[in-house]
Structure 1
Amino acid sequence: MNIERNPHRVPTGLRAPGLDFMGKLCGTFHVNGERHYWNYSGTGDALKIELAEGQHFRRLYLSVADAEDAQRTLRDAVGAHS
């Protein structure tokens, strides 16, 4: 899990199905044989979550109010369950 500081510079590939309109990315995007899910809007950072091989999506890109806090909270939650 990382913070993507420039999500608008990340190649999104082919959108199907999904939305890419006026700064809002939402849905499934196909990049280099991988399936990524985006739910991002705005101009700030995105939380990028790498999923294990074999999952439906390989990466999730999410806009959150505070990416660093969200990253810390998710890492704590995953650590508590591993």
Structure 2
Amino acid sequence: MADVRISDGTLIVEIEGLDKLWALKSRLEIPLGNVRGATVDPGIVKEPKGLRAPGAHIPGVITAGTFHIDGERVFWDVRDPARAVVIELADERYARLVVQVDDPRDTVTRIEQAIPRTV
């Protein structure tokens, strides 16, 4: 599971517990200017993941780590699909972050409200 918070114009994703071991990451920091949006998407776990490198994928148990698909790098940390949030990024190492959070709707709302919008 991940703790997602916003501080000083930065989206901080802190990987918790043993998921750090499976994902081989403990923290990601993304400038809010590079965050395109966030959505609640429990169905994403059914989509192809691509090549795992490095990380873990045990269907129905955990998907964690870095996956490569269609020329993009995607970070995963999901055990419970019902709590999956997809965070779209631009100009970052990862094209997307797919993470499990305690409250998906609240997390998406906080991210969407924090993203700088140009008119």
TM-score range, shorter chain: 0.7 to 0.9
Shift of 1:10: 1.8
- Cα distance in structure 1, aligned partners of 2:67 and 2:52: 4
What residue in structure 1 maps to residue 41 of structure 2?
A: 4
What residue in structure 1 maps to residue 70 of structure 2?
A: 32
Unaligned ranges ≥5, structure 1: none
Name the amino acid aligned to 2:100. S
What residue in structure 2 maps to residue 42 of structure 1?
A: 80
**Runs ≥4 in structure 1, deviation > 3 angstroms?**
none
Q: How large is the RMSD of aligned CA atoms in angstroms? A: 1.7
Shift of 1:16: 0.4
- Cα distance in structure 2, aligned partners of 1:48 and 1:13: 16
Shift of 1:8: 2.1
- Pairs aligned (count): 79
Unaligned ranges ≥5, structure 2: 1-37
- Cα distance in structure 2, aligned partners of 1:43 and 1:34: 21
Q: Does the 8 Å contact 2:54/2:65 carry over to 1?
A: yes
| Structure 1 residues 62-73: aligned runs within 5 Å | 62-73=99-110
Q: Does the 8 Å contact 1:34/1:58 carry over to 2?
A: yes
Name the amino acid aligned to 1:5. P
CA distances 1:1-26 after superposition (whole Å, capped 9, x unpaired)? 11112132121000000011252111
What residue in structure 1 maps to residue 113 of structure 2?
A: 76
Q: When the two structures are superposed, what TM-score results if normalisation uses the length of structure 1?
A: 0.84
